[in-house]
Structure 1
């Protein structure tokens, strides 16, 4: 039998392996770009909430409205989550590129950043829900 891909020889480049590495690198880049968009949306949403709170405070009847400390905390939580996710996505991206560059690429299970962000959003959502519910009855 004639093997189409002979074993690695010094100076021999396995084209299929190199193309697979390039596909994995491109996938890692797309994943990082998706995280950048997600983090930018979270940070923007947090700034938006804070801007609305600041605008309400600057109105004439701001003394009649309870200064919404809750909303400022909510906005800061979105900003913090966006920053955390961006840092972690950058670290994961660098680690993935290092794994691809190694000769022996092996899958290693790790904690999902998407799941972590989803759970944090659930926590922020519960905080917002309870805060709005409590404010409605006070």
Structure 2
């Protein structure tokens, strides 16, 4: 009784390797969630610090800085949420590739790194435009 070449047998070793890769993907997602929550927390703290400064030193010149602080804080929060969405998408892609029968390991593509770099540069440009817009209001 021989198995046909078109039908692959699944061994315990293959299944354990898939399980190990799935757990590694979950650890990576957990790490990304931790980092994204830190970025979101920094955005909230940035705004709160400027609110406390404005209450302790009520000058008219700080009002414009408060607008800048709100813009930067909200931008950092949005950036953290955006990175969290990217991490979840990468996790779902990895898990779906593990669920296929014809799983073949592929090293991380340069595409994933380029998406991250483009998102960071885009965030920087948007923040730069926001800062210059607020400064021009003075």
TM-score, with structure 1 as normaliser: 0.71
1:62-113 per-position Cα deviation (integer Å, ceiling 9, x unaligned): 324243122221111110111011112112211211110101123384622x
Q: How many residues align?
A: 126
Equivalent of 2:76 in 49, 68, 78: 78
Q: Taking structure 1 as reference, are residues 109 and 121 closer, same or farther at Cα in structure 2, changes over 3 Å only? A: closer
CA RMSD of aligned residues (A): 3.2
Give the Cα–Cα distance (whole angstroms) in 1 for the partners of residues 39 and 25 of structure 2. Answer: 21
Tell me which residue corresponds to 1:30.
27
Give the Cα–Cα distance (whole angstroms) in 1 for the partners of residues 116 and 78 of structure 2. Answer: 11
* Stretches of structure 1 lacking an aligned partner (at least 5 in a row): 1-6
Tell me which residue corresponds to 2:45.
48
TM-score, with structure 2 as normaliser: 0.71
Where relative contact order (Cα < 8 A, 6+ residues apart) is larger, the structure is 2
> Which structure dedicates a bigger proportion of its chain to helix?
2
* Stretches of structure 2 lacking an aligned partner (at least 5 in a row): none
Give the Cα–Cα distance (whole angstroms) in 1 for the partners of residues 100 and 17 of structure 2. Answer: 13
